[in-house]
Amino acid sequence: MTSWTLPPRPPGSPPLAHAWQTLADGLLTQRLHLHLDEWRAAVAEGKVLPDVPGADVSVPAQRPSPLPATEGSAMALLEAAGLGFWWELPQRHGAESRNQHGALHRAANTAAQNILAEQSGMAWSDAVTAVSDAAAWWVGFFTVIRHRGVHHITLEPHPSPLHEQALGTAVSVVAHGMATRVLEEALRNSDDDPDVRAAYCRAIEAGICVEPELPRLIDELAELRLVDLVSTTARWRGRFTKYAGGTGAGQVE
């Protein structure tokens, strides 16, 4: 028999990773508002992106689908997970939906389905779907203005062109990361639901499987804002290197 107990939590010492996640979330919000006019102008022109061959600007700009009937509780879960902004800003600023689904949306949908394994209709499953849809929008947002950004290491302008396939991978990675946050919040309320625990394990497995690909993906994305979006959302060893060295702000936003 076990003759010991788990240690009590020390008061007043929240994990530093939580603070870094909060900073990373704030940086996304800041960047969206800093570049909203620029993004709108690019979307209004409705052209193919100069640095992503074959990518139509208008498709990823569409706002994600609204939350289904469980909206109230799914939204409450998103808020509790600190992801209200992640869902609301695309709804507020996204272009009117024309029900066109591009590669980014398909990647988000696949990522959500892999985690949910046909579970639907619960607040947590709707929230996973919602953050995954939003992942396609956020990746699309920074893709539209990517050609005006800088390389994430050199801070030199004009990052090299990239393939649309890399953007699909980026969406998948971001969707998995955000879904993981949703499921953790759902489990903090109760870890008794076996479906939520199974979905959480699938999200963890997906994160482990994709981790070896992340350095190559980041190399290809190259541009600072896209790189920050992916690297601070995915659960991997490099998640908070942006902050761990005492930097993380004041460079190029």
Q: Which is nearer to another protein, 206 or 230 (CB)?
A: 206
**Residues 11-50 interacting with another protein (rule: CB under 8 A):** 11-18
How far from 201 is each of 118, 176, 253, CA to CA, in Å?
15, 11, 35
Binding mask 171-190 for another protein (x = CB under 8 A): ---------x---x--xxxx
Amino acid letter at 140?
G
Distance CA 172, CA 178 (A): 10
**C-beta of 38 vs 205, nearer to another protein:** 205
Binding characters for another protein, 128-167, by CB under 8 A (x = yes): ----------------------------------------
Among 88, 109, 197, 213, binds another protein (CB under 8 A): 197
Residue 9 C-beta: closest distance to another protein, Å: 4
DSSP 29-89: HHHHHHSHHHHHHHHHHT-B-SSSTT-BSHHHHBPPPPP-TTHHHHHHHHHHTT-HHHHHH
Point out which residues pair with 151 in neighbouring strands: 223
76 binding another protein? (CB under 8 A): no
Residues in the chain: 253
Q: Which of 82, 198, 213, 219 binds another protein (CB under 8 A)?
A: 198
Q: Based on CB atoms, which residue is closest to another protein, 31 or 242?
A: 242
Q: Does 99 bind another protein (CB under 8 A)?
A: no
Q: Which parts of 223-242 interact with another protein (CB under 8 A)?
A: 235
Pair 233, 203: CB distance under 8 Å:
no
CA dist 190 and 126 (Å) reads 17
Interface with another protein (CB under 8 A): 2-18, 180, 184, 187-191, 197-198, 200-202, 204-205, 207-208, 235
